[in-house]
Amino acid sequence: MEDKNYSSDSPIHEQGQDRFSRWSFSERVAQVISKRSDPSSIVIGLYGIWGDGKTSVLNFIEKSLESDKKVICIKFNPWRFGTEDELLTGFFFDIAEALDAELIKTGDKLKDFVKKAAPGAGAIMGAKGAGEVLGSFISGPDINELKKRIECELESAKRRVLILIDDVDRLEKAEIQALFRLVKLTADFKYTSYILAFDKDVVAASLQDRYSSAAENSGEAFLEKIIQVPLHLPAVEKQVLREFCFQGVDEAINIAGISLSEQQVQEFVRDFSAAFDDCLTTPRKAKLYGNILMFSLPILQGEVNPVDLMLLEGIRTFCPSLYEVLRINKGLFTGSFRDSYYSNNDDEKEQIRNLLDDALSRGKNINKAGFIDLLKNMFPKLQSVYGNMSYGSDWYEKWNNGQRICSENYFSRYFTYAIPKGDISDKVIQELFNESEKWSEPFGFESNPLNEILNDSSAEALIKKMRHQAGKINADASLALAVAIAQKSDDIPNPEVFYSWMTPFSQASMLVSDLIQNVQKPDRVALAKKCIELSASLEFKLEIFRWLKREDENKPEKDAFSEACIDEIGKHLGKIINDKIEGRGDLTKLVPKSIPTIFYTLNKYVRNEYVNDYVAGLISNDSEALVRILDSYVPIAWGMESCISHKSDFEREQYNSLTGQLDASIVLNAIQDHFHQAMDVSDDFPRVYDDDVEKGVLFLEQFVWLHQYVLREWESEEESHDSEE
């Protein structure tokens, strides 16, 4: 029962549920009313802000009088009534019904008087104002008779009536005004006491509107005329509220199944106390925070940093305006100020300061310095906004690994309570690692364990997440995952982008290399060869080989493949390519983007002069193959303004690269035999800006021009050498 009441926002009724020492206060109020001998009416105002526990105190007062035969407690909730005439008749009917149950033993019930009088209230309401209706109704003969009979019955029974009126401050302004006029006009009932629970400022403001032509404090003045005994709820000590709040936090953490380290607990308590202590003004605020955590922590368990989430939910609870600023300004608060030594970030910093100042100024009970300290800890970028400390991009991996809100990859999760589209759940990643230890490879196409998770839309996020965690994967899981990824390489996107190594395709090959490094050193060559062999595409075979970690003489401690191991793997790759060629495969059509890498691999790891023989035979069967070869060496260029990709030119760098693997004479002879018009080039390097011109023809002309230029260079160098001799 206690847990249920704690987790919900329900008022409490029992003394054993009292956490804020309100029972003794309530009991004293009840005893004063019970022992009062004066028959005149009394109106008590129970003042407290919204959520301070006024309803619970009314419940305690009622409970403490439960066994007191001298007092009849009647609860009247004006919030149940939609109109003023309903409020009026409901008030008397509730009193009559309660007294009928307690006092009236005959068949002549008090509520019958109300039923007789009530029909007239609506008719009068249509013609008169609320004040006149109340006066007419209460001064009418039936109500006067009801009043006399009630007073007579109470005096005869030596009992009193205590009317508890709650939720006054939740009414509309007109309803608040009507209720207080009702209380004012009925306050002369003998043996009757009222306790009205409300936020004094809210009610006074509503009454002020009614008497706007009067003095500035007319609302409070009106209250003073009606409320004879103003009582403020006893203040709850800050430490008690904090403990109550932290009990809710503990319960939410336990429900979510989250285990915090001692350091995490200390970080949370430090930041919570610095920022939110002044915001803990009522038990309801404390309870609301715990309830929010019970919702958010289980949903995002394992997907975000729990301390960051708990602190963010604190911001949402205690300063909603700040929460909104954070939610819609991801770019301002994630990451760090890049290249801070070379660029001016003053405008962005000023923007951040202005946004935060405005948001904090709109909050209530805000300790600005405490909130700024909290934000600096949650978003390290702010350390350079409010100080001189800066963080470099080397911190990004730490923030990613910690699932921090300051990470661009995790920020959105904290606000959507879900994994954004295109992202992958960290739980899914962890389950994948755990399950992969049990996989038996190699897999068939339909039985690959990654079929359900790796596809065109998920590849980028999945590979990025796996790369971040690659160092933590054990040898068995690494072996199985490397093979599975290689087999699924056809499903990994490889778009044309400025930085080709940032594509999911290249990142996946790097991941395979990372995984290979996780197995025992004697097993790595075999695994690398297996991944190359089982890769679904020739491009991915080449990409795996490209990103294998090689020993560096400048870093002898680095655990990587030796030159001998690389040579062994390269020969294995070369054989695979050779088998493709012997199967009459035209590589310029099969893998046009990878021709330069293939030529290098064939000459180095299969046989020197291999490419010369292959290309010569290829061109004799299909002269257009020469154009495709040149095209494969030309890089993609990107428009500075349009950002549209297009083929660049075949320039000196491409000439050197091609002729390093293929004899220039083979290319030149093929151009003479099949594209003789390209041999006639001008003195200027051929550049054509007309989109209608065939790029392939242009590349042939550029090769011829460069070849002639290189020949002239050699001749000049030989002449210079001869003259020196």
pLDDT tens-digit series, residues 487-496: 989 889 887 7
Q: Give tens-digit pLDDT for 419-440.
A: 877 788 888 888 888 888 888 7
Q: Other C-beta atoms within 10 Å of 479: how many? A: 26
In three-state secondary structure terms, 231 is strand
Span 692-720, mean pLDDT?
85
Boundaries of every domain in the chain:
2-232, 238-416, 421-580, 584-725
pLDDT-based confidence at residue 568 (cuts at 50, 70, 90)? very high
Higher pLDDT among residues 389 and 235, named by residue: 389
What is the predicted pLDDT for the residue at 695?
Answer: 78
* Percent of the chain residues topping a pLDDT of 70: 84
Cα dihedral 364, 368, 372, 378, rounded to 10, equals -30
The pLDDT confidence band at residue 8, using thresholds 50, 70 and 90, is very low
The residues near 311 (Cβ < 8 Å, ≥ 6 apart) are 268, 271, 272, 275, 374, 378
Instruction: Provide the CA 232 distance to its chain's centre, in angstroms.
Output: 41
Asked if residue 442 has a cis previous peptide bond (ω within 30° of 0), the answer is yes
Q: What is the pLDDT of residue 403?
A: 93
Question: Tokens 């949903």 map to which residue?
Answer: 299
pLDDT at 2: 37
Q: How far is CA 113 from CA 142, 146, 163, 233, in A?
A: 6, 6, 19, 37
**pLDDT category of residue 285 using cuts at 50, 70 and 90:** confident
pLDDT per residue as tens digits for the range 49-98: 777 778 888 989 988 888 888 888 888 888 777 666 677 777 777 777 77
CA atoms of 597 and 614, how far apart (whole Å):
15
What number is the average pLDDT over the span 18-34?
82
Instruction: Classify domain 2-232 by CATH number.
Output: 3.40.50.300
Buried b (16+ CB within 10 A) or exposed e, 124-145: bbeeeebeebbeebbebebbee
Task: Count other Cβ atoms within 10 Å, centred on residue 373.
Answer: 17
Please compute the mean of the pLDDT values over residues 153-178 and round it to a whole number: 82
Which residues partner with 73 through β-bridges? Answer: 162
340 falls in which pLDDT band (50, 70, 90)?
very low
Mean pLDDT of the chain: 83
Q: What is the DSSP letter of 16?
A: G
Contacts of 566-571 with CB under 8 Å at 24 or more apart are: 567/605, 568/525, 568/529, 569/525, 569/528, 569/529, 569/532, 569/545, 570/545, 570/601, 570/604, 570/605, 571/605, 571/606
pLDDT value, residue 342:
45
Strand partners, 647: 636
At 382, list the tokens: 């702010």
Q: How far apart are CA 189 and CA 191, in angstroms?
A: 7
| Cα–Cα dist 649/687, whole Å | 8
**Band of pLDDT at residue 182, cut at 50, 70 and 90:** confident
24-33, 476-485, 550-559, 646-655: the lowest-pLDDT one:
550-559
Rounded to whole angstroms, the Cα distance separating 667 from 13 reads: 95
Segment 179-189 shows an average pLDDT of: 77
pLDDT at 722: 62
Alpha-carbon distance of 458 to 453, in angstroms, equals 7
Both structure tokens of 203:
């009610």
Which one is predicted more confidently, 12 or 569?
569
In this predicted structure, which of 112-121, 127-136, 508-517 has the lowest mean pLDDT? 127-136
Integer CA distances (angstroms), 99 to 134, 135, 149, 163, 230, in order: 22, 23, 11, 12, 27
- Kindly provide the b/e burial profile for residues 653-691, where b requires at least 16 CB atoms within 10 angstroms of the residue's own CB: ebbeebbebbebebbeebbeebbeebeebeeeebeeeee
Residue 318 confidence (pLDDT) above 80: yes
Q: In 3D, which of 323, 267, 262 has the Cα closest to residue 292? A: 323
Query: Are the C-beta atoms of residues 78 and 87 closer than 8 Å to each other?
Result: yes
Distance CA 333, CA 185 (A): 59
Q: What spatial distance separates the first Cα and last Cα of the chain, rounded to whole Å?
A: 106
